[in-house]
Amino acid sequence: MKFLLLPPNFPRAAAQRGFTQVEMFVSLAVLSILTAAMAVGAITIQRSFQASQSYTQKEADQMRLLDYLAVDLRNALTVQTDNATGTIQLALPDYYQTDGTPREPHIVHGMAYYGDPSQPVHVSYSRQNGMLVRQEGSKTTAVAKDVQDFNVAFRDEGQVIEVSVSFVPTFQNSGGGNRPGTTTICRTLLRNKRQS
């Protein structure tokens, strides 16, 4: 280190005498600290980016699931929820014909019916192999993938269904109570369900 402080015209022999062991230790220690700090910083940033990406992805899945559910719930004639399995089953009017064109309703005693009222369209949402799927007849749609940590809960209030979805963010210990800030609640009015 001394040679850094030496004037340019200092004898060449003195400049080439090398470092002492202490100088080497000090410089190595400084370099090690700096390198370690940079490595830790780089790794932390990378992990943070991954966590943010995962959080954003899960939140998008969460919103997509709630949107799917809200659309179906608004049309639902009947709803059955099962919190133990996180499953919801709905019966929807048969609005569309097999070719996808809208079906004209027929009015009976002031009530609108689509297709055969005794054969509504049955839709269910359930968890299958780490995915949340929407099943309509034989047609299965994966609404969200890789959502093993999703917790979907339903609350049936008669005319309103409350759906809450939460997940475990990355780098957070899993467990029932470790979902702060990720719980999203959507309350949907069952427009087609007749009030009793």
CB of 129 to another protein, least distance (A): 27
Q: Tell me the C-alpha distance between 71 and 13, whole Å.
A: 85
Token pair of 135 as six digits: 């099943």
Tokens 């996808």 belong to: 100
Single out the residue of 143, 129, 138 nearest to residue 72, CA to CA: 143
Of the candidate spans 118-126, 143-151, 171-179, 182-190, the one that interacts with another protein by CB under 8 A turns out to be: 182-190
Burial of 136 (0-12, 13-18, 19+ CB in 10 A): middle
User: Of 136 and 162, which CB lies nearer to another protein in the complex structure?
Assistant: 162
Rounded to whole angstroms, what are the CA distances from 37 to 25, 34, 52, 196?
18, 5, 22, 67
Binders in 118-157 for another protein, by CB under 8 A:
none
Which positions from 66 through 105 interact with another protein, judged by CB under 8 A?
A: 66, 70, 75, 93, 95, 102-105
Q: Which is nearer to another protein, 35 or 128 (CB)?
A: 35
Binding residues for another protein, rule: CB under 8 A, are: 1, 4, 27, 31, 34, 38, 41-42, 45, 48-49, 52, 55-56, 59, 63, 66, 70, 75, 93, 95, 102-105, 107, 109-112, 114, 159-160, 162, 181, 183-189, 191-192, 194-196
